[in-house]
Amino acid sequence: MSEEKPTFITAGEEFDRDMTYIPDRITHEARKPEHGPVEGELWPVEPGRYRLVAAPACPWANRSLIVRALLGLEDVLSVGLPAPTHGPASWNFDLDPGGVDPVLGIHELREAYDARFPDYPRGITVPAVVEVASGHVVTNDFPWITHDLFFEWRDHHRPDAPDLWPDDLREEMEEVMDRVFTDVNNGVYRCGFAGSQAAYERAYDRLWAALDWLEERLTDRRYLMGDRLTEADVRLFTTLARFDAVYHSHFKCNRNKLSEMPALWGYARDLFQTRGFGETVDFEQIKQHYYVVQSDLNPSGIVPKGPDPSGWASPHGRERLGPSGA
């Protein structure tokens, strides 16, 4: 495969994320899950059988690292951490000794995809769950990976794990998460990878309308769903954690910084200082990934020194809105 840098922008067009993933799911005793589609194979939950490959640089993978930590699944689901920079072919394990994942024994994640689907035709994405014994990728369907870690791995959760999907909030959660995904999580990409001025401005306006809505929503509630930490918070956090370091400048989302929005900035710091969140965030890897790999936007490959991340550890004062959710 060519070693030319990947291209993310199509001239004159809006950015359209490919949401086609391997549809297999890992469920309790390979049962049919209560929620969501069953379009692929069902695999049984088994401690030690699978390895979660999740690059800290990637916001979609960062979700899975946070949920794994919140639920206390570290001893039953091992994790491989790809390097932040890569060529067009695949995420790699250049940070591991010899550039090889110590459990899977592979140099690139593509090897696990090709082992199951020879010459896999789509993008090699993280997070991905790989069966250790066979070396085959099982799924890379990131929304369902975290969903199923909660619903299907319950027997292995830590006793005080938070209820990330409260039954009485699920309908409203789905509505909130849909807007967060469309206008914020993916909205920053629609700004950054817009192929025209008009497409960029449409994405920009939708992004900031959503962020203003979230700022208002979080002014008098500690979490998106009130006084309970849920997966909705995990999904929003990974974008907020990257906002000032990357999206503000690199993706031209520059009306203002996250640190200039009192409620959102306090909320983001509150989560960062919560068990399971901050320890999964690596700001240097985040910057290396975006500014080096996305050469369409940054052809020099120069990685900014700032911003200073120390503010993430500063007091957030949101205890007044209710007890911690984790």
Q: Model confidence over 32-72: pLDDT tens digits?
A: 999 999 999 999 999 999 999 999 999 999 999 999 999 99
Q: Does domain 169-281 have CATH number 1.20.1050.10?
A: yes
Range list for CATH 1.20.1050.10 in the chain: 169-281
Mean pLDDT within 302-308: 97
191 an active-site residue? no
Classified by CATH at the fold level, domain 25-156 comes out as Glutaredoxin (3.40.30)
How many residues are recorded in the chain? Answer: 326
CA distance 240 to 231: 15
Mean pLDDT within 95-111: 98
Is there a binding annotation on residue 312?
Answer: no
**Torsion (CA) 255, 257, 263, 266 in degrees, nearest 10:** 170
pLDDT of residue 7: 62
From the candidates 189, 204, 247, 291, give the one annotated as an active-site residue. 189
Q: Model confidence over 144-189: pLDDT tens digits?
A: 999 999 999 999 999 999 999 999 999 999 999 999 999 999 999 9
CA distance 108 to 100: 8
Mean pLDDT within 261-270: 98
Q: 250 with 192: CB under 8 angstroms?
A: yes
pLDDT of residue 70: 98
pLDDT of residue 12: 67
In angstroms, how far is the first alpha carbon of the chain from the final one? 45
Q: Model confidence over 198-247: pLDDT tens digits?
A: 999 999 999 999 999 999 999 999 999 999 999 999 999 999 999 999 99
CA angle 151-135-107, nearest 5°?
115
Q: Is the pLDDT of residue 292 over 50?
A: yes
Strands of the chain (E only): list them: 25-27, 42-44, 50-53, 78-80, 128-131, 137-139
pLDDT of residue 3: 36
Q: 177 with 232: CB under 8 angstroms?
A: yes
Q: Determine what percent of the chain is predicted with pLDDT higher than 70.
A: 98
290 an active-site residue? no
Mean pLDDT within 184-197: 97
Range list for CATH 3.40.30.10 in the chain: 25-156
Model's pTM, two decimal places? 0.96
From the candidates 50, 58, 191, 204, give the one annotated as an active-site residue. 58
Could you give phi then psi for residue 43, rounded to 5 degrees?
Answer: -115, 145
Q: Give the tokens for residue 100.
A: 């090889």
Q: Which of 116, 101, 123, 110 is nearest to 40 (CA)?
A: 116
Q: Please enumerate in sequence order all residues whose Cβ is within 8 A of that of 212, keeping only pairs 6 or more positions apart, or say none.
A: none
Neighbouring-strand partners of residue 79: 52
Q: Is the pLDDT of residue 1 over 50?
A: no
**Torsion (CA) 108, 112, 117, 121 in degrees, nearest 10:** -30
pLDDT classification of 88: cutoffs 50, 70, 90: confident
pLDDT classification of 4: cutoffs 50, 70, 90: very low
Q: 129 with 102: CB under 8 angstroms?
A: no
Q: Which of 240, 276, 306 is nearest to 157 (CA)?
A: 276
